[in-house]
Amino acid sequence: MASDLNPASKPPWDLKARFSDASPGKLEPVTMRKRAVGASGSGEWQEVETWAFVPDDLPPVIDWRGVKGELFDEFAGAHAALGRVNGLVHAVPNPEILRQALWLREARLSSKIEGIDTTALDMVLAGEEDGKANPGREALNAVRAVQFGIESLEPYSGKLVRAMHEKLLDGVRGEELRPGEFRDVPVYIGVAGRPDRARFVPPSNGETVARCMGALETFVNGEWSDIPELAQVALAHYQFEAIHPFRDGNGRIGRALILHQMCALGLLDMPIVSPSGYFQRHRQEYVDRMRAVSEQGAWVEWLRFFVVAVADEAVSTRLLAERIVAAHGQFTEKLRDHAAAGRLLRLLDHVFGWPLVTAASAAKVLDVTDPTARKDLALFEELGILARTDESTYGKTWYAPAVLDVAEAEYAEFPE
């Protein structure tokens, strides 16, 4: 409730006053710098004293039996929704047609939380424009980070997290902020240039950051029979964001790691359900619930929020996945009557696997000549499977609208 999340009597920058005795961590003094701007528009650096929050190691000491009882309905609903997604994955002849559209959606929405607004088409086009930094490339890099983490088959570790972070910031804004390295300088959340008005300051020095990340790795890879799996994921996500181990990109990597952990725990058979969409739609509550854990130890409220987010997005994901399967099935039927149906069906799977294609890439995938590839692409365009990007790339690049429509979806729900 609002009164729990935003104590009216405590200014957001009065950090020490906002942390109660129930806070699952400790405050440490930290000195930061801000520039004092005078009438001339320039000024000297001034030191600012504030407080950094260092979270206790996981798991928190709480009554897990009581938590499971209080959140029984939420846990049951989430597991049922995830089970239906897993069932759909196993029922689809080629489940790989689901992966990229849903990863593009997750990355787009996760990036949107951080103020990076782009389209699914811009994201896939960015994949053809190596070296060009733009919002599409920033969001696409989030897909690449997720993909790297999942396909590495490595357990959760500092090494894996740093490698995913390096993928995230490759060739985009923030590349100068030491991608793939845990930070060794203080950072804060709040008004730029005003650490004295910080709303939150995570652990301030490199040694503490490294120690906290090592403890988080131990927790994620541990056995916790008394803690529900989804609660373990929620705890780890909060902890990662509270540590804030990088100078930039923490939110997107933290949400990418949710997919990795859910698969490792057996909650997902394919990494396609992420709560990022729900977090985006409830962005302020998402931030406030995590802050309330740090300040007040409000674990149950955070767990409820997280589990509801997973359940909600599992329902949405299943409906979107069904759209993909239906579109793929309709196009398959249209292609079966053609003489070169075998080759055309391979191309169909290819464009559902990556919804952007050129004559050259089609020719390579199908092992045919350029004229044959162009003929096939013209047929796909005629059938509505593909569309040209725009006049500036006329005849050069096609995209799959059915796939990108899913990646552009904010939410999907059952019709009334």
The string of pLDDT tens digits covering residues 345-380 is 999 999 999 999 999 999 999 999 999 999 999 999
| pLDDT of 6 higher than 50 | no
pTM for this entry: 0.90
Measure Cα distances from 77 to 84, 102, 230 in Å: 11, 21, 12
Confidence (pLDDT) at 42: 58
Contacts of residue 412, defined as CB under 8 A and 6 or more positions apart, other chains included, come to 315, 316, 319, 320, 323
Confidence grade of residue 392 (pLDDT, cut at 50, 70, 90): low
Mean pLDDT over residues 232-252, rounded?
A: 96
Alpha-carbon span 365 to 341, nearest angstrom: 15
Write the pLDDT tens digit of every residue in 61-113.
999 999 999 999 999 999 999 999 999 999 998 999 999 999 999 999 999 99
Confidence (pLDDT) at 62: 95
Average per-residue pLDDT for the chain: 89
| CA angle centred on 166, ends 165 and 167, rounded to 5° | 90
Q: Are 102 and 118 in contact (CB under 8 A)?
A: no
Q: Which residues on adjacent β-strands are paired with residue 45?
A: 35
> 59 preceded by cis ω (within 30°)?
yes
Q: Which residue has the tokens 């997604």?
A: 85
Confidence (pLDDT) at 395: 52
